[in-house]
């Protein structure tokens, strides 16, 4: 990471952005760590938990591209502060109501506050802070600080969660703390982020949404090929959260201890993203090849999980499989977007390509949690988790085939292009 040539005031703005980006998604993804008591406190079935993510995903899918247009038309600072306070208020409503219907409405509105209002404004704000010269360093510091903040906040929220055995009290304290943290981050953004005319002019015109670019992106077959591969890794990455209830219900871990394992999966393993990037860039020279090998390991782990017997005697092997699967999923997810560089997506419509790819990549949130929840409710936990692991394993097998085939296709095309240039 190169040196960041910015003043202390702008560095403080980056810190506030990192805090905001770390805490705002805690509420819509609360099931990832606090699954058991979340279900109990809100008196939900597993399928209903899945429907919460479906509602959130539908909202995100609809609002993803319009959010970019909104960010170009309104004050970045106002949008950030509004989204953070809006998310916090929704969390407070959930905490004080504690019922499924309210949660379902809140999760759909989370899509408005986080995806529609916050995400595009966050990225525009980071571009404003860094300008053209320090954009890379700004993002580097944002993610580096964000990983540390996520880890600290994660353990802090878990401490509140584990302070009582009562599910209602545990979730009330946790959701209340998350909501307050989000609103405090809004205050920090308001104080530290300066949005003057000079800074606004630094936002790149190339990053704005252009309808004319859609056709070019749509006609690129490699974009859709890559999108399916990224769809598969996101399917795995976003649902390894089910290891939390699996460890407690199938191998007898204490609920708080299984949530602690979830903290490790969700926050500590975030630091594995640079490891995946190093392996892809320096060792394998290909992100697609990393995906091919990584998915082979994941397939072995998931198919192996189907052979782990229920009961406390299996707790060690279940934890090992859980941590290894989560580690590889995080490693692959962290370098996901670099696939677009490998397939040589032109910079002229890279932003549009990312928008279109995102509509495919994040589709699992619409149906996978609901599907797994339905399996657990209708077939029982043992049979439900068996189906889940088989499904994940088959996704990995498909991803191996697609990744390796696309890697060979890209290598052949690059070789032909180089030969043509030499001729």
256 and 179 together in one domain: no
Q: Terminal CA-to-CA distance of the chain, rounded, Å?
A: 38
131 and 252 together in one domain: no
Please provide residue 147's backbone torsions phi and psi, each rounded to the nearest 5 degrees.
-65, -40
**pLDDT score, position 176:** 94
Of the listed ranges 9-13, 100-104, 153-157, 198-202, the least confidently predicted one is 198-202
223 and 361 together in one domain: yes
- Has residue 128 been placed in a domain? yes
Number of domains in the chain: 2
Would the pLDDT of 400 be above 60?
A: yes
Of the listed ranges 164-178, 248-262, 269-283, the least confidently predicted one is 269-283
**For 43, how many CA atoms within 13 A lie in the half-sphere containing its CB?**
6
pLDDT digit string, tens, across residues 19-39: 998 899 889 988 877 888 889
Per-residue pLDDT band for 211 (boundaries 50, 70, 90) equals: low
**386-413 b/e (C-beta count within 10 Å ≥ 16 → b):** bbbbebbbebbbebbebbbebbeebeee
Of the listed ranges 185-194, 290-299, 331-340, 371-380, the least confidently predicted one is 331-340
- The fraction of the chain above a pLDDT of 70, given in percent, is 83
Token pair listed for 388: 């889940």
* CATH code, 409: 1.20.1250.20
Would the pLDDT of 123 be above 90?
A: no
298 and 396 together in one domain: yes
Per-residue pLDDT band for 198 (boundaries 50, 70, 90) equals: very low
Of the listed ranges 17-31, 191-205, 293-307, 378-392, the least confidently predicted one is 191-205
- Has residue 175 been placed in a domain? yes
303 and 393 together in one domain: yes
Would the pLDDT of 420 be above 70?
A: no
Of the listed ranges 200-204, 264-268, 313-317, the least confidently predicted one is 200-204
CB 333, CB 200: distance < 8 Å: no
pLDDT digit string, tens, across residues 340-353: 778 877 755 665 67
Mean per-residue pLDDT for 315-320?
A: 91
194 and 219 together in one domain: no
Q: Output the CA torsion sign for 338, 237, 349, 134.
A: negative
- Alpha helices by DSSP H, listed for 242-349, are 243-250, 255-266, 273-278, 287-305, 315-334, 339-342
**For 114, how many CA atoms within 13 A lie in the half-sphere containing its CB?**
28
| Cβ-based neighbours of 312, under 8 Å, separated by 6 or more | 251, 252
Per-residue pLDDT band for 379 (boundaries 50, 70, 90) equals: very high
- Has residue 2 been placed in a domain? no
The residue range of the domain holding 101 is: 8-209
Would the pLDDT of 189 be above 80?
A: yes
Would the pLDDT of 133 be above 60?
A: no
**pLDDT score, position 127:** 66
Last residue of a domain, one of 164, 191, 209: 209
| Cβ-based neighbours of 178, under 8 Å, separated by 6 or more | 23, 26, 27, 30, 91, 157
Query: Residue 407: which H helix or E strand, with range?
Result: helix 381-422
Token pair listed for 177: 């703390």
What is the rounded distance in angstroms from the CA atom of residue 261 to the CA atom of residue 247? 9
Quick one: which of 313, 356, 314, 266 has its CA closest to 33? 266
**pLDDT score, position 267:** 67
Per-residue pLDDT band for 105 (boundaries 50, 70, 90) equals: very high
191 and 302 together in one domain: no
- Has residue 343 been placed in a domain? yes
Would the pLDDT of 51 be above 80?
A: yes
- Has residue 25 been placed in a domain? yes
- Alpha helices by DSSP H, listed for 24-119, are 31-41, 46-73, 76-97, 100-110
Would the pLDDT of 6 be above 50?
A: yes
- Has residue 303 been placed in a domain? yes
Of the listed ranges 276-280, 332-336, 341-345, 347-351, the least confidently predicted one is 347-351
**pLDDT score, position 1:** 44
154 and 281 together in one domain: no
Per-residue pLDDT band for 3 (boundaries 50, 70, 90) equals: very low
Last residue of a domain, one of 162, 182, 209: 209
- Has residue 29 been placed in a domain? yes
CA distances 14 to 18, 20, 142, Å, are: 6, 10, 6
Quick one: which of 32, 420, 74, 106 has its CA closest to 258? 32
Q: Which single residue is written with the structure tokens 């068996």?
A: 386
Would the pLDDT of 88 be above 70?
A: yes
Please provide residue 264's backbone torsions phi and psi, each rounded to the nearest 5 degrees.
-60, -45
**pLDDT score, position 2:** 45
**pLDDT score, position 137:** 54
195 and 289 together in one domain: no
What is the rounded distance in angstroms from the CA atom of residue 9 to the CA atom of residue 56? 35
Mean pLDDT of the chain: 82
147 and 250 together in one domain: no
Q: Model pTM? A: 0.71
**Secondary structure class of 238 (helix, strand, coil):** coil
**pLDDT score, position 150:** 77
- Has residue 1 been placed in a domain? no
111 and 243 together in one domain: no
63 and 177 together in one domain: yes
Last residue of a domain, one of 174, 209, 244: 209
């Amino acid at each position: 990471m190169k040196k960041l040539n910015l003043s202390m005031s702008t560095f403080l703005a980056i810190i506030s952005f990192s805090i905001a980006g770390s805490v705002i998604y805690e509420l819509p993804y609360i099931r990832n760590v606090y699954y058991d008591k979340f279900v109990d406190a809100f008196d939900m079935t597993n399928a209903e938990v899945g429907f919460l993510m479906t509602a959130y995903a539908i909202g995100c899918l609809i609002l993803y591209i319009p959010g970019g247009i909104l960010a170009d038309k309104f004050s970045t600072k106002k949008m950030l502060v509004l989204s953070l306070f809006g998310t916090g208020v929704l969390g407070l409503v959930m905490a004080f109501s504690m019922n499924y219907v309210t949660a379902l409405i809140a999760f759909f509105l989370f899509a408005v506050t986080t995806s529609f209002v916050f995400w595009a404004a966050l990225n525009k704000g980071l571009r404003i802070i860094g300008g053209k010269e320090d954009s890379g360093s700004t993002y580097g510091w944002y993610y580096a600080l964000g990983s540390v903040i996520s880890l600290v906040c994660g353990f802090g929220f878990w401490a509140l969660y584990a302070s009582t055995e009562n599910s209602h009290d545990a979730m009330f304290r946790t959701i209340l703390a998350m909501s307050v943290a989000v609103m405090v981050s809004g205050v920090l953004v308001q104080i530290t982020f300066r949005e003057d005319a000079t800074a606004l002019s630094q936002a790149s015109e190339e990053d704005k949404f252009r309808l004319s670019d859609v056709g070019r992106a749509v006609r690129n077959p490699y974009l859709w090929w890559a999108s399916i591969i990224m769809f598969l890794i996101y399917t795995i990455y976003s649902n390894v959260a089910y290891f939390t209830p699996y460890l407690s219900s199938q191998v007898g871990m204490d609920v708080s201890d299984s949530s602690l394992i979830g903290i490790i999966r969700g926050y500590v393993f975030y630091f594995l993203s640079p490891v995946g990037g190093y392996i892809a860039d320096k060792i394998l020279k290909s992100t697609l090849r990393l995906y091919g090998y990584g998915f082979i390991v994941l397939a072995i782990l998931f198919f192996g999980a189907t052979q782990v017997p229920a009961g406390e005697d299996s707790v060690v092997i279940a934890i090992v499989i859980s941590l290894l699967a989560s580690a590889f999923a995080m490693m692959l997810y962290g370098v996901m977007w670099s696939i677009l560089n490998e397939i040589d997506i032109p910079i002229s419509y890279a932003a549009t390509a990312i928008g279109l790819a995102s509509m495919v990549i994040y589709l699992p949130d619409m149906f996978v949690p609901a599907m797994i929840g339905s399996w657990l409710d209708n077939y029982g936990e043992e049979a439900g988790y068996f189906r889940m692991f088989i499904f994940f394993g088959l996704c990995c097998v498909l991803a191996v085939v697609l990744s390796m085939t696309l890697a060979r296709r890209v290598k052949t095309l690059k070789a032909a292009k180089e030969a043509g240039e030499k001729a």
